[in-house]
Amino acid sequence: MHQPFVTFEYAGKECGPRLKAGKYIGFIRYEGITIEILPKLFNVDQADEAFRHLLWWLHYCRNIRFPFTDLLSDAERVDDFPEALIGYFARDAYSLVTTQPYHQYEETTEVLPYLRGRLNTQEYIRESLSRGYWQQLVCDHEPFLYNNRLNQIIKYVTRRLSGLCRFPDTYRWLEKILFALDEVDDVPVNARDCDRIHLSRFYAEYEICLDMCRFFLADSYLNRQEAHQRHFCFLLPMEYVFEDFIAGVSQMHFSDRFIVQSQAKDWLTDQRVFQIRNDLLLTQRNTRKQMIVDTKYKRRDQSSNDAKQGISQTDLYQMVSYSLRRATDQVLLLYPCAYGKVPSPPARFTVSSDLLNIKALNLRAVEIDITGNSREEMIHQVKQQLNTAFMSQNTD
C-alpha cells in the first residue's frame, strides 16, 4: 500500500538505507518503534526544540484544529512527543470525569410495564398489540444518564491509548479514568460521534477534552480496525502549517492596517478557468492598495554566484501571474529561516513591460525567523519582521 509520508533511499555502501521525509512533520509509532519527522528548520538532535516550536506555531493557526497547543510551558521539555500528547489528555480527562461528572438526557426507546415519557404508538402496535402483549408499553423517554455517548467516547479513547503509552505514570492516569468510568459501556466510536455531541454552557470545560478525543479518533491517528492497537501517528503538512501560522499572526496583529484575506481565490482567465489561490492578500485600509503574500516552506539555496538568489523560476512565473490578475505591483515571498541562523538579506526583482500601466512589478523575497527561546520572544520577533516586510514592500 502506498504512503506519501516517508521514502526509503539507498545512500551508498557506507551509509546504507535511509529514510527521507516529504513535506510532512510529526511522528509515526509502530510496535514500540517511533519515527520522528522534524521540520527542515531543525537538525536531527533538536527534536525537543522542534516539537516545542510546532506547538507554538499551531497556537496561532486558524484552520488547523489542534487541542494541545497549551500542552507545555516554556520551561518544560518534550522528550517524547507522542507520550506528551497522551499524558496531557489523561490528566485533563481524569480531572473532568472526577470533579465534574457528565450526565446527559438521552432519548431512548424501552419496553416497560408502565407508561414513562410518551407512548410510541407505532412500535406499540407492531411489537405488543399484534402479539397479544397489550401490557408491554413501548415508551420513548429521556433519562438523565451517566452512561452517555460522551463518556463512552472518553472511555473508548482512554482504553485505546492505554495500549499505546509507554510511560508508567501516563498508564496510571489512564487506568484511573477507566476506573471512574466503570459504569459506562465499552462501545466502539469514531470521530463523527464527536461531531454529534452538543455541550451546554454548564459543561463547557469538556470542549477541549472532546477536541482531543476527535483528534485521537481521526483516521490518520488511530487504527480502529485492529482490536489491539499497534500504531499511532500524527502528521501535518508543514507547508500548510507555515502558511496558516503567518496568516494567523497577520490577522491577529495587522488587521488594524490591512484587510487580511487567507486563501483568496480568483480566476486567472476571463473564461473563469485556471483558478488562482493566494496564500495571503493584504489590502491597505486607507489606500485600498493590495499586496500578494506567498509563503514558501523551503530553504533558499543561495550562493555567491547565484543571480536568482535562491528563488525558483517557477515561483517567479507564478507570482507574476498573480500580480497581473490582481492588478498590483506588490508581491512578497516569505521563506522560513533555519533554527539558530540569521535571516539572509532580502532579494528584490522587478518585472517591466509596456503592457503594464504601472512602472514595474516589485517582487521581494524575505526570510523570517519563526523560532525563539520562548513563545513570547518568537511571536515578538515575527511581528517585527512581518511589519518590516509589509512596510518595506509598500514603500518601494
Looking at residue 29, its pLDDT comes to 76
Q: Characterize 334-369 residue by residue with b for buried, 16 or more Cβ atoms within 10 angstroms of its Cβ, and e for exposed.
A: bbbbbbeeeeeebbebebeeeeeeeeebbbbbbbbb
Strand 361-368 vs strand 330-336: parallel, antiparallel, or unpaired? parallel
Strand 290-295 vs strand 275-284: parallel, antiparallel, or unpaired? antiparallel
By the 10 Å C-beta count (0-12 exposed, 13-18 middle, 19+ buried), 188 is classed as exposed
Q: How many CA atoms lie within 13 A of 182 on its CB side?
A: 4
Looking at residue 1, its pLDDT comes to 47
Looking at residue 11, its pLDDT comes to 60
Residue 112 host element (H or E): strand 108-112
Full pLDDT tens readout for the chain, 396 residues: 455 566 766 666 666 566 666 778 888 877 767 788 888 888 888 888 888 899 899 989 988 878 887 776 655 666 778 888 888 999 999 999 999 998 876 777 888 888 877 888 888 888 888 888 888 888 886 676 788 889 999 999 999 888 888 888 899 999 999 999 999 999 999 888 999 888 888 888 999 999 999 988 885 454 444 444 556 778 888 999 999 999 999 999 999 999 999 988 888 888 888 888 889 999 999 999 999 999 999 887 766 577 888 888 898 898 888 888 888 889 999 999 988 888 888 889 988 877 766 678 889 999 999 998 888 999 999 999 999 999 875 555
Strands (E), 273-314: 275-284, 290-295
238-395 fold: Trna Endonuclease; Chain: A, domain 1 (3.40.1350)
Looking at residue 151, its pLDDT comes to 93
> Three-state DSSP class for 181?
coil
Looking at residue 225, its pLDDT comes to 46
Phi, psi dihedrals of residue 100, rounded to the nearest 5°? -140, 70
**C-alpha triplet 102, 183, 112: angle, nearest 5°:** 95
Q: Characterize 69-83 residue by residue with b for buried, 16 or more Cβ atoms within 10 angstroms of its Cβ, and e for exposed.
A: bebbeeeeebebbbb
Which of 262, 236, 229, 245 is CA-nearest to residue 370? Answer: 245
| Site of grid cell 545512500 | 11
**So where are the chain's domains?**
82-106+143-229, 107-142, 238-395
**Angle at which helices 206-217 and 149-162 pack, to 10 degrees?**
50
Looking at residue 177, its pLDDT comes to 95
